Amino acid sequence: MREHDESLYTAGGLYAPGVADRPPPVPVDVSNIPEPTPRREPRARWGNRESYTVLGRTYRVMASAEGHVERGIASWYGYKFHGRHTSSRERYDMCAFTAAHRTLPLPTYVRVTNLENDRSVIVRVNDRGPFHEGRIIDLSYAAATRLDMKQAGTARVEVRTLVGPYDTVATAPPPRAAAPVPAHRWAGPVPPPAAPEGPQVVQVGSFGDRHNAQRLVERLDAAGIDGAQLDHAIVDERSVWRVRFAPQAGAAARALAERVMASGLAAARVFSAEP
């Protein structure tokens, strides 16, 4: 669990340094993932202590997020933490738009703008960190990709509060998100429990190289999961090859996505087919 345990940190602020963080083993096209809609929620039962200490430094959680704006360096965290508990005891999903902040009350919705390219993304802050000196926010893999800072690892950003939590504390358990992920297998984000009406598309990969996309199709075929097709598209002015299955009914699409993820060959996302 990603808790405030000083034994898990080094003097440089690195969590469990013996294990390297990284993107998902299979590329994920985040252009199809919706950003969260800001809404006022009760304060999380966990992660909102008045103060806490990490690496000998004490942090005080803000009483209110209203009007908060700051600029500084953002970093991101990914597969190493996927499926682990956040400070608010939710499951971290690297393919959701979330973030970690040292002092904002949980959960708070903020807009993060990359000051180097003017791209922005709305994220839900549900975790504590980063504890690396000089950084103000830790973004999920999806958010970092949306801001085009994944390769560089860090970027100068502006963080602006949109909606903070109620003063009341939540009494219900936190919502369930990604299931725990075995270290040897990429299970990917859990598909939504109920898909919208109409035909659904299952996408299991997005590649810049057509040959890599074709190899995934061949691996799926070898595993007895046939029917995957290549779909060419332009995403963020880049040519990409997406591996998808033909549109089908919602229940069948979700069953197919679960089968793909259970194989360990790829992540899977289910979304409405274009009209």
Amino acid (one-letter) located at 77: Y
Q: What is the spatial distance between Cα 48 and Cα 61, in angstroms, rounded to a whole number? A: 7
pLDDT bucket at 85, cuts 50 / 70 / 90: confident
Q: Residues 111, 99: contact at Cβ < 8 Å? A: no
Look at residues 262, 263, 232, 230 and name the one whose alpha carbon lies nearest to residue 246: 230
3-state helix/strand/coil string of 212-270: HHHHHHHHHHHCCCCCEEEEEEEECCEEEEEEEEEEECHHHHHHHHHHHHHHCCCCCEE
Q: Does domain 6-163 have CATH number 3.90.480.20?
A: no
Give the domain ranges of the chain: 6-163, 200-272
* Helix ranges, 196-249 (H): 210-222
Lowest mean pLDDT among 66-75, 202-211, 222-231: 202-211
**pLDDT, mean of residues 110-134:** 94
Q: If you count them, how many residues does the chain have?
A: 275
Say how far apart CA 99 and CA 74 lie, in whole Å.
10
CATH fold match for the domains 6-163 and 200-272: no
Task: Please tell us whether the domain made up of 200-272 is placed in CATH 3.40.50.970.
Answer: no
Please give the average per-residue pLDDT across 198-227, as a whole number.
86
C-alpha 74/C-alpha 187 separation (Å) is 27
Coil, strand, or helix at residue 125?
strand
pLDDT of residue 133: 85
Helix (H) or strand (E) holding 121: strand 120-127
Residues 76 and 148: beta-carbon distance below 8 Å: no
Rg over alpha carbons for the chain, rounded to the nearest Å, is 19
CB atoms within 10 A of CB 50: 7
Whether the pLDDT of residue 194 is over 80: the answer is: no
What is the reported pLDDT for 182? 38
What is the C-alpha to C-alpha distance for residues 101 and 73, in angstroms, rounded to an integer?
Answer: 12
Kindly state the average pLDDT of the residues 135-161: 94
